């Protein structure tokens, strides 16, 4: 959530930010609700002042006198007016908060202009991705693929996009997760095993609500949401708390299964492991001092990149343009691996800085030593990493002429052998 003071004092700045993200928000309506709230607040304060004056005057009168009785009647009338005005004020305040939840975060000045994903900027490129690989196949076309990754039975049991991982397929997933978590631990992230269901307040704090209702699985009657990413429970760990300034940055990592409806997805992007409704991912999260948040973003991105380098996968880093930047992010990098069989890039991580946007919603603050007055932290997160597309890239890039897949050297200690066989 943006600072309401910023909206009041610099509405044109907010309009420009919304335009850069190519979003549509009725900012005039938000400002009108804010103006109504402030007018009502002044009226309530005036009535409270009149109530206090009448109470003082009544206290000075002898009880039972006509003047005292008249002042009691006046007090009752003013009290009734105060209650009605306070109720209207509360209703308007709730409307204003709901309206503010529709206003996106401001993009950082370094975010490039652009409307579509094609206008994202290639920030860096790593590894050979253009070399011919005569044996490469899309992973779902590798002979025997369905023996280890059973989409048909998953669809029977649950629905499309919920595959079974079997034998060495499940073993390779587990190996990747263990590798990710241990590497993240070495980088200074403290591992957390969080709940995989969250309440509406948690989803609102991170920006999933009211922006992404259609992408989440919701339970009834409890109205809990299956996590679309561990970002949601992790960020809310410190909701409504004040951190020690000396403890910043706080760094955590977590593995969870993730659940996304992916409504509207279609075409080649959803083949095989490219896009599924349940998948495994390790998330990296930081709560940082505002003065260091962009330095910490670079470090976070490098932590995610290091995993890809160790897996020896060709990848690139994209700096997202305004139109492809999320509702809540100020700046975002995407990491994409090269899938040799599909001859295309697959996103495996997004590394984002939300500045104080999530922290204001969640009221996560720190107490500066110099002033002692609590201030909002900045929150950052990134995937470290998402399993399915990393797995797809390993299968496609490391497919051997004999039909086996070479396991990256860093995974062999976890997987227990040097090749995955589909036989």
Residue positions annotated with a catalytic role: 260, 275, 347, 350, 389
Whether residue 221 has a cis bond before it, omega within 30° of 0: yes
Q: How far is CA 56 from CA 82, 85, 216, in A?
A: 17, 21, 56
Any idea what the Cα angle at residue 9 is, between residues 3 and 10, rounded to 5°? 85
Residue 346 β-bridge partners: 337
Residue 186, both tokens:
């070495």
Beta pairing, strands 315-319 & 405-406: unpaired
Beta pairing, strands 242-244 & 365-367: parallel
As a whole number of angstroms, the distance between CA 384 and CA 403 comes to: 29
Residue 379 β-bridge partners: 287
Q: How far is CA 361 from CA 1, 58, 234, in A?
A: 6, 44, 14
Any idea what the Cα angle at residue 365 is, between residues 112 and 367, rounded to 5°? 120
Residue 213, both tokens:
């209702």
The kind and range of the H/E element at 168 are: helix 168-186
Q: Find out whether 339 and 376 touch, Cβ atoms under 8 Å.
A: no
Q: Find out whether 189 and 296 touch, Cβ atoms under 8 Å.
A: no
Half-sphere exposure of 347 (CA within 13 A, CB side): 15
* Nearest by Cα to 394 from 333, 310, 325: 310
Sequence-separated (6 or more) residues with CB below 8 Å from residue 179: 307, 410, 411, 414
């Amino acid at each position: 959530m943006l600072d309401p003071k910023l909206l009041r004092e610099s509405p044109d700045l907010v309009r420009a930010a919304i335009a850069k993200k190519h979003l549509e928000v009725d900012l005039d309506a938000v400002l009108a609700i804010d103006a109504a709230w402030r007018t009502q607040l002044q009226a309530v304060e005036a009535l409270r002042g009149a109530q206090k004056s009448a109470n003082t005057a009544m206290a000075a009168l002898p009880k039972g006198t006509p003047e005292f009785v008249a002042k009691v009647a006046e007090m009752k009338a003013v009290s009734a007016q105060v209650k009605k005005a306070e109720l209207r004020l509360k209703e308007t305040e709730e409307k204003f908060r709901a309206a503010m939840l529709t206003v996106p975060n401001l993009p950082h000045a370094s975010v490039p202009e652009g409307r579509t994903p094609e206008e994202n900027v290639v920030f860096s490129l790593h590894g050979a991705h253009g070399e011919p690989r005569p044996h490469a196949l899309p992973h779902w076309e590798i002979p025997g693929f369905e023996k280890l990754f059973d989409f048909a039975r998953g669809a029977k049991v649950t629905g499309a996009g919920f595959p079974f991982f079997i034998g060495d397929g499940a073993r390779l997933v587990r190996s990747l997760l263990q590798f990710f978590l241990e590497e993240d631990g070495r980088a200074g992230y403290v591992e957390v095993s969080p709940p995989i269901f969250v309440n509406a307040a948690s989803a609102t704090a991170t920006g999933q609500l009211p922006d992404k209702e259609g992408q989440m699985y919701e339970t009834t009657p409890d109205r809990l949401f299956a996590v679309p990413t561990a970002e949601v429970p992790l960020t809310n760990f410190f909701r409504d708390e004040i951190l020690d300034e000396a403890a910043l940055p706080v760094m955590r990592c977590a593995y969870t299964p993730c659940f996304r409806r992916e409504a509207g997805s279609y075409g080649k992007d959803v083949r095989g492991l490219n896009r599924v409704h349940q998948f495994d991912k390790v998330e990296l999260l930081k709560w940082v001092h505002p003065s260091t948040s962009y330095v910490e973003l670079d470090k976070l991105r490098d932590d995610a990149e290091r995993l890809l380098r160790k897996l020896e996968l060709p990848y690139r880093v994209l700096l997202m343009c305004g139109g492809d930047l999320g509702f809540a992010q100020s700046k975002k990098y995407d990491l994409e691996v090269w899938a040799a069989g599909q001859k295309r890039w697959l996103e495996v991580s997004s590394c984002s800085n939300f500045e104080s946007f999530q922290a204001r919603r969640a009221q996560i603050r720190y107490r500066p030593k110099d002033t002692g007055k609590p201030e909002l932290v900045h929150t950052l997160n990134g995937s470290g990493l998402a399993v399915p597309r990393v797995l797809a890239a390993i299968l496609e890039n490391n497919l051997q002429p004999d039909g086996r897949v070479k396991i990256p050297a860093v995974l062999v200690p976890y997987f227990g052998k040097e090749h995955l066989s589909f036989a």
